[in-house]
A and B are shown apart, each in its own frame.
Chain A
């Protein structure tokens, strides 16, 4: 310990004290030099497009090039008063809650199962990751075929188990939303599983030993040892998965239901896409996107602030 401190003071810091001012300034700027490529790429690819989108959200746009006029908050007013927005907000909220809770619960459950030892564990873990590695469009296609009301495998199973024949999964408003949620959970649980498994493997074994000596059952050990130990992972996962479900899930829904039936699966992402690229109302779509951006920003910041302060409280 002392030795290392000696090396450090005789090395890096002592040397930097002797450096001329220009070199010291350069050293202070080093982190930003490293960040520069990322910042430039994210600036060009994200910040500028976001700024343009926010700018466009105050304009009425039409197909005629150059015909853009400033309308103030009219786009926002129109959105907030439209039943379509209220519907999409409800659908998106249900979709987000169900997929985040579902993926994380299943991910944690499988991580607990995978944390034990059994023959073929490595192979099983690899195979459980497959849904995550499958590209979106083929995934959407095979699910569509599985859910085909006449010839789909899932419909056939439902028909043989139930008495009433198979429902038209994607034609029924409730079932369509459930189907989309199930597919999304199916695709995302591996991420939760992998991260939770990592967390579980970091928990020292003696903690459980001590709990058992103290007479705590498996459930109490789970509540008081496992859950607190993976709390950081839970926060990161719920943050990222909520953001993705809320504002970024598109392909699966677009290819399975395109927002239907009767808008039952029309999430905010679908609504935004359709107003931008199907009815070509760029101003309106930009306003919608800016609202989603605002909601996501408030949610993410609130989550980060509350979890950080609670962390501080427990320490």
Chain B
């Protein structure tokens, strides 16, 4: 009896330790997002009052409303156009290459896999110099399509890598069976592989969407006309122009953070499964 209680006590202590570790991590993980919301709705009068309160005092939506009635919707629309455009292009281009990397393995394709990795070697800041010249040559500088192309270069390699791991998780037998039954490879892809992998493909698209939604350096270099500004430039502009106007900064930050975070949380199950499929291979 005594022994059992000692063992139980050790188990209890271990569980308490586990529980508090999880609790602390959870707090640290969500604190910045929570504080962003807190600062966005707290009445401006309390921003510079100490001590800070855990719940926003005198909450108001005036900051959020002023963002949504100002430049907010315009920046949101531009950001959305760029992010959706980049994600669609990354999927359409990346899926073919990812399928090849997953299914056909010989020496030449090993080199191709290394090339995909090699795109991660050069600092994007340096790629920006020639890329900007190319965009000027194509007359796409300072335009949203130009930014889509720049973001595509940035996101395509990792999107391809995620897509490859999604295809890796599907047994080759599936499409081989279809091909034996008289489908050619295209039909097998369309009717067999695509339906099974669709959740993973959407997850990969959401990755590209998130990357280009938040991208800052290319946007800053490619875009100058304020009518083409995306959210990341808009928020950063509060920093340089006025010295931080924290009420505007925080309200705008919330408006640009919630859509991708909510989107991510609603599909994270597929996203995690897609990444995990790659680990198993």
A residues with a Cβ closer than 8 A to B are 4, 7-8, 11-12, 30-32, 34-39, 41-42, 44-46, 48-50, 52-53, 56, 109-110, 113, 116, 118, 124-139, 141-146, 150-151, 153, 156, 160, 186, 194-195, 197-199, 201-202, 232-233, 239-240, 243-244, 247-248, 250-251, 254-255, 268-269, 272-273, 276-277, 282, 285-286, 288-290, 292-293, 296-297, 300
Task: Indicate if B144 sits at the interface (CB-CB under 8 A).
Answer: no
Say whether A31 contacts B100, CB under 8 Å: yes
Task: Give the size category of B's interface with A.
Answer: 35 or more
With A38-B94, A41-B93, A110-B25: A289-B257 Cβ-Cβ less than 8 Å:
no
CB < 8 Å neighbour of B276 from A11, A118, A198, A232: A198
Say whether B104 contacts A31, CB under 8 Å: yes
Say whether A293 contacts B121, CB under 8 Å: yes
CB distance from A251 to the nearest CB of B (A): 4
Say whether A145 contacts B246, CB under 8 Å: yes
Say whether A113 contacts B21, CB under 8 Å: yes
Instruction: Report the bound CA distance from A31 to B105 in whole Å.
Output: 9
Which of the segments B56-64, B130-138, B193-201 contacts the partner chain? B130-138
Residue of A nearest to B119 (CB): A46
CB < 8 Å neighbour of B122 from A125, A247, A276: A247
CB distance from B129 to the nearest CB of A (A): 5
Which residues in window 17-53 of B have CB below 8 A to A? 18-19, 21-22, 25-26, 28-33, 35-36, 39, 47-48, 50-52
A and B contact pairs by CB, cutoff 8 A, 11 listed:
A130-B33, A130-B261, A134-B33, A138-B257, A141-B36, A202-B280, A239-B117, A251-B216, A277-B125, A292-B126, A293-B123
Residue of B nearest to A49 (CB): B130
Q: How many A-B residue pairs have CB under 8 A?
A: 294
Residues of A within 8 A of B187 (CB): none
How would you classify the secondary structure of chain B's contact residues: helix, strand, loop or mixed? helix
Instruction: Report the bound CA distance from A277 to B35 in whole Å.
Output: 33
CB distance from A311 to the nearest CB of B (A): 15
With A45-B149, A49-B130, A146-B35: A297-B156 Cβ-Cβ less than 8 Å:
no
Digit string of B245-281 for contact with A (CB within 8 Å is 1, else 0)?
A: 0100110011011001100110010001001100110
Task: Indicate if B66 sits at the interface (CB-CB under 8 A).
Answer: no
CB < 8 Å neighbour of A137 from B125, B126, B157, B231: B231
Say whether A248 contacts B275, CB under 8 Å: no
Which residues in window 155-205 of B have CB below 8 A to A? 156-157, 160, 173, 176, 179-180, 185
CB < 8 Å neighbour of B36 from A138, A186, A197, A244: A138
Residues of B within 8 A of A202 (CB): 279-280
With A35-B109, A135-B213: A273-B257 Cβ-Cβ less than 8 Å:
no
Residues of A within 8 A of B21 (CB): 109, 113
Residues of A within 8 A of B76 (CB): none
Say whether A124 contacts B26, CB under 8 Å: yes
Residues of A within 8 A of B265 (CB): 126, 129-130, 133
Instruction: Report the bound CA distance from A90 to B89 in whole Å.
Output: 38
B residues with a Cβ closer than 8 A to A are 18-19, 21-22, 25-26, 28-33, 35-36, 39, 47-48, 50-52, 92-94, 96-101, 103-104, 106, 108-109, 112, 115-131, 133-134, 149, 152-153, 156-157, 160, 173, 176, 179-180, 185, 210, 213-217, 221, 231-232, 235-236, 239, 244, 246, 249-250, 253-254, 256-257, 260-261, 264-265, 268, 272, 275-276, 279-280
With A42-B156, A116-B18, A141-B250: A255-B176 Cβ-Cβ less than 8 Å:
no
Instruction: Report the bound CA distance from A21 to B88 in whole Å.
Output: 37
Instruction: Report the bound CA distance from A4 to B48 in whole Å.
Output: 73
10 A-B pairs closest in CB distance: A38-B97, A289-B126, A135-B214, A45-B153, A198-B276, A31-B104, A34-B100, A52-B130, A138-B253, A133-B264
CB distance from B122 to the nearest CB of A (A): 5
Say whether B235 contacts A137, CB under 8 Å: yes
With A138-B235, A139-B32, A198-B275: A276-B160 Cβ-Cβ less than 8 Å:
no
Instruction: Report the bound CA distance from A113 to B22 in whole Å.
Output: 7
- In this complex, which of A133, A151, A232, A272 has the most chain B Cβ atoms within 10 angstroms of its Cβ? A133
CB < 8 Å neighbour of A46 from B31, B122, B244: B122
Apart from A35-B112, A138-B235, A145-B246, what are 12 other A-B pairs with CB-CB below 8 Å?
A11-B179, A35-B100, A38-B100, A39-B112, A52-B133, A56-B130, A109-B21, A128-B26, A195-B279, A198-B279, A198-B280, A290-B126
With A130-B30, A131-B29, A133-B264: A53-B232 Cβ-Cβ less than 8 Å:
no
Instruction: Report the bound CA distance from A34 to B193 in whole Å.
Output: 15
CB < 8 Å neighbour of A145 from B19, B39, B119, B272: B39
